Amino acid sequence: MKNTSILFILLLFCNVISAQSVENIKASDEYLYGEGRGESLKAADNAALQDLISKISVSVESGFDKVEEAIINQAGIKDYHHACKLVISTYSQATLHNTQRIVIENEPDAQVFRYVKRSEVDKVFESRRLKVFDMVASASRAVEKGKVDDALRYYYWSYCLLQSIPWANAVVDANGHVLTHWIPEQMNEVFGDVKAYKVNEKDGVAEICVTYKGQPVTSMDYTYFDGMDWSSLYGAKDGRGFVELRPGMTTENLKIKCEYEYSGEAHIDKEISTVVNVMKGRVFRNAYVAIAPLSSPQGGMTNPMAQKSYVKETVAVSSPLGGSEGGQSIALLPNEEAAPYSKSIETVIAAIKSGNYASAEACFTEDGRDMYRRLISYGQARIMGEPSYAFYTMGDNEVTCRSVPMSFSFRNNGRKFVEDVTFTFNDEGKIDYLAFALDEKSTTDILQHSMWSEYARKILAEFLENYKTAYALKRLDYIRSIFDDNAVIITGKVVTRQTSAYGEVGGEYFNNKYVQYTRLGKEQYMRNLERCFNSNEYINIRFANNDVVKAGVGGEVYGIQIKQDYYSTNYGDTGYLFLMVDLNNPKQPIIKVRSWQPERDPNFGLIDLSHF
C-alpha cells in the first residue's frame, strides 16, 4: 500500500512538471510545438509530429520558391501552404530528429507534445544538405568511370532532395557551384555525351552499342518506346545493350531514353523514396538518344564492341602470393591449346540459345553444374550476339574463359540487364564455377595497383566477382565457406532512439536518428541470409565504386571498401560495404571482417582497415 502511494505521488509529480513544461514552451517565442491525441502512444505521437510539421512549414515556407507549381507531384494541392507542408512532411520519419517529446497522457487515451527550438529548425535540414553533397560527390566519381546509370541516379536524387530544402538556391558546393543550376547542367552534359549504335539484329532482338565520350559505357540503364508502350528498364554494360523488337518494328528512327529518375529503385533509401514520391519529376529532353547505324559512327570511331581481352599478354609474376607457392604466371592460351575449352564453351552457348540446357551439363563438374542450373534459372537468359572470348591460365592447371555476354530478365520484375559471364575449368577440363564479371572500370581500379603482384590483383578481382555472383545465385554454401568461423560481421541500420517519455526544456531527452551497429556471429548471419534468399525471386548487387588497400601486416590481407547498391524482389538498400579478406591461400579466400553502414558516420566516417 505504501509503495502504491509512492508510485502515485511520483506519477502525479511527473505530470505536474510535464504540464508546467508544456505551458512554459507554449508561452515562449523560442519554440515551435505540436500536440496530438490517439488511442496509442504511436498514434498520438504521429499526430503531434504532423501538427509540428505544419508549424515548421509556416515558419520556413518563404524559403520554398514556387514550390506549388514546380515541385509537388501530389494531386489536390490546395494552396502554397499545403504544398510547403507536404515538402516538410518528407522529414517526419527519417530526418525530423531534432525534436523533443513530452508524453502528457499515456495509453489508452494518449496525448503527446512535440517541440523544437526555433534556432534548431535549420538543423532539421542540415543532414539532408550533407546527403545532397555526398550524392553529388558519388555522381561525379561515377561520371569519371563512365558509370552513366550511377551518375544520373545520384544527380537526379540529389536534385530532388535539394528541392526539398528551404532556400535551396543558396546551397553551393566547395567550388561555389549553385547546385540547383549546376546539377541539371551536369545531367545534360552526360546526356550529350551518350551515343547509341545498332550492332546486329536477329530473331527480333537488336544488339546495340552504347558509348559515353566515344568509349563503351561502363553501365547505363535505358527504356524505349516500342510502338505501343514504353519498355521495361534495360541495362547496358561495357557498351553492350539490346532492344527487343515487336513484329514489323525496326530500329530506324528509334530512340532510347537514358533512365535518370529510378523511381522504382528509390525504395533502397526511405528518405529518397519519400521525397521522389512527393516531388514533381523534371523532364530532361536531352535524355533521348537516337540509335544510329554502327557502319557510320560519328567521329570516325572504330567498332567499340570489339572484345577487350582481360589479359593482354603473357605475364610472369615475380612476387608469389603468400610467399609459399613459388612464382605464379598468368598467360593467354594459344588457339591450339584452347581448342578443347572452346568446344565446351560453344556447347554451353548452343544449349542456352536453343533452350536445351541439359545438353551442356556434361561440360561441368558437380559444383559447376549446380551453378549452371542456378544461372539459367536466375532470369530468362539470352546469349548476346556472337560472343568473342579468350582463355587464360592462372596458377596450376586452371583455365578461365572471359567472357560470354548474356542478358537476363525476370517474370515478376521489369528489370532487364546484361552480364559478362566467366567460366573457370579445373585440371580435368570441366567447368568448375562461373561468375558475373566486374565491369572493366572496376577491374581497372584493382589492376592499377602496380605495387602488388599481378597474381594478387587478379585473385582480388576474381574474388569480388565470385562474391557478387554468390549472392545473385544464392550460393549459401559458398558464402559460408569464405567467412572465417570467428569473422567480425557488423551490420548498421538507421533507427530512432526514444530516450524518455518525459522531456524538459533544455534537457537531453529527445528523439535522435543514429546508426545502430550490431555485431553478428557467422551462424546468425547465415540464418538471416538464408531467409533473405528464400523470400526473393532475384538478388542483384551493383558496385558503384571500390577502393582496395593492402594491410601493413599479415601478408596478403586486403581491405576492400565498396559503395554497394543491393536490389532484390522485395527489398533494397544502398550503403558502404567493407571487407577484410585474407588471400594468403589464394585457393581459399577468407573474409575476416564484413561491415555494412548506410552512410558515412559523422564521427568516424567509413569503417576501414584502421578500425581492426
Question: Mean pLDDT across the stretch 503-529?
Answer: 61
pLDDT at 61: 75
- 3-state SS assignment for residue 290: strand
pLDDT at 508: 31
Q: Do 603 and 467 share a structural domain?
A: yes
Contact present, 544 and 150 (Cβ < 8 Å): yes
pLDDT at 505: 34
pLDDT at 67: 64
pLDDT at 72: 67
Q: Please check whether residue 543 lies inside any domain of the structure.
A: yes
Question: Mean pLDDT across the stretch 100-113?
Answer: 89
pLDDT at 224: 92
Q: Please check whether residue 217 lies inside any domain of the structure.
A: yes
Q: Do 140 and 118 share a structural domain?
A: no
Q: Please check whether residue 430 lies inside any domain of the structure.
A: yes
> Which of the two residues, 311 and 463, has the higher pLDDT score?
463
Q: Do 445 and 418 share a structural domain?
A: no
Domain that holds residue 36: 2-124
pLDDT at 62: 73
Q: Do 349 and 233 share a structural domain?
A: no
Over residues 592-604, the pLDDT tens digits come to 999 888 777 766 6
CATH code of residue 559: 3.10.450.50
> Which of the two residues, 4 and 561, has the higher pLDDT score?
561
Q: Please check whether residue 361 lies inside any domain of the structure.
A: yes
Q: Please give the Cα distance from 472 to 381 (Å, whole number).
A: 14
Cell 498520438 found at:
44
Average of per-residue pLDDT values in the chain = 79
Look at 7-11, 76-80, 384-388, 567-571 and tell me which has the smallest mean pLDDT. Answer: 7-11
Q: Please give the Cα distance from 136 to 387 (Å, whole number).
A: 37
Q: Please check whether residue 302 lies inside any domain of the structure.
A: no
Contact present, 558 and 462 (Cβ < 8 Å): no
User: Domain boundary residue among 272, 297, 322?
Assistant: 297
Give the chain's domain count. 4
Q: How confident is the model at residue 360 (pLDDT cuts 50, 70, 90)?
A: very high
Contact present, 424 and 431 (Cβ < 8 Å): yes
Q: Do 389 and 263 share a structural domain?
A: no
Would you report the helix, strand and coil content of the chain in percent, each value rounded to 5?
40, 30, 30
Q: How confident is the model at residue 511 (pLDDT cuts 50, 70, 90)?
A: very low
pLDDT at 495: 43
> Which of the two residues, 322 and 101, has the higher pLDDT score?
101
Q: Do 292 and 241 share a structural domain?
A: yes
Q: How confident is the model at residue 285 (pLDDT cuts 50, 70, 90)?
A: very high
Sign of the CA dihedral with 292 first, then 295, 301, and 305 last: positive
Q: Do 189 and 110 share a structural domain?
A: no
Q: Please give the Cα distance from 182 to 558 (Å, whole number).
A: 38
Q: Do 458 and 503 share a structural domain?
A: yes
Over residues 162-200, the pLDDT tens digits come to 888 888 888 899 889 999 999 999 999 999 999 999 988
Q: How confident is the model at residue 88 (pLDDT cuts 50, 70, 90)?
A: confident
Q: How confident is the model at residue 570 (pLDDT cuts 50, 70, 90)?
A: low
Q: Do 597 and 466 share a structural domain?
A: yes
Question: Mean pLDDT across the stretch 402-431?
Answer: 82
Q: Please check whether residue 250 lies inside any domain of the structure.
A: yes
Look at 126-135, 251-260, 486-495, 552-561 and tell me which has the smallest mean pLDDT. Answer: 486-495
CATH code of residue 20: 3.10.28.20
pLDDT at 120: 78
Pick left, alpha or beta for residue 484 (phi over 0 → left; psi -120 to 50 → alpha; otherwise beta).
beta
Cell representation of residue 299: 567521329
User: Domain boundary residue among 124, 150, 180?
Assistant: 124
Look at 312-326, 361-375, 411-425, 535-549 and tell me which has the smallest mean pLDDT. Answer: 312-326
Pairing mode, strands 572-582 and 557-568: antiparallel
Question: Mean pLDDT across the stretch 286-308?
Answer: 65
Does residue 357 carry a pLDDT above 50? Answer: yes
pLDDT at 190: 97
CATH code of residue 374: 3.10.450
393 bridge partner residues: 331, 399
pLDDT at 71: 64
Does residue 265 carry a pLDDT above 60? Answer: yes
Q: How confident is the model at residue 19 (pLDDT cuts 50, 70, 90)?
A: low
> Which of the two residues, 171 and 452, has the higher pLDDT score?
171
The closest of 511, 225, 240 to 383, measured between CA atoms, is 240
CA-based angle 276:282:288, to the nearest 5?
120
User: Domain boundary residue among 124, 150, 175?
Assistant: 124
Q: Do 548 and 453 share a structural domain?
A: yes
Q: Do 417 and 476 share a structural domain?
A: no
Q: Do 227 and 99 share a structural domain?
A: no
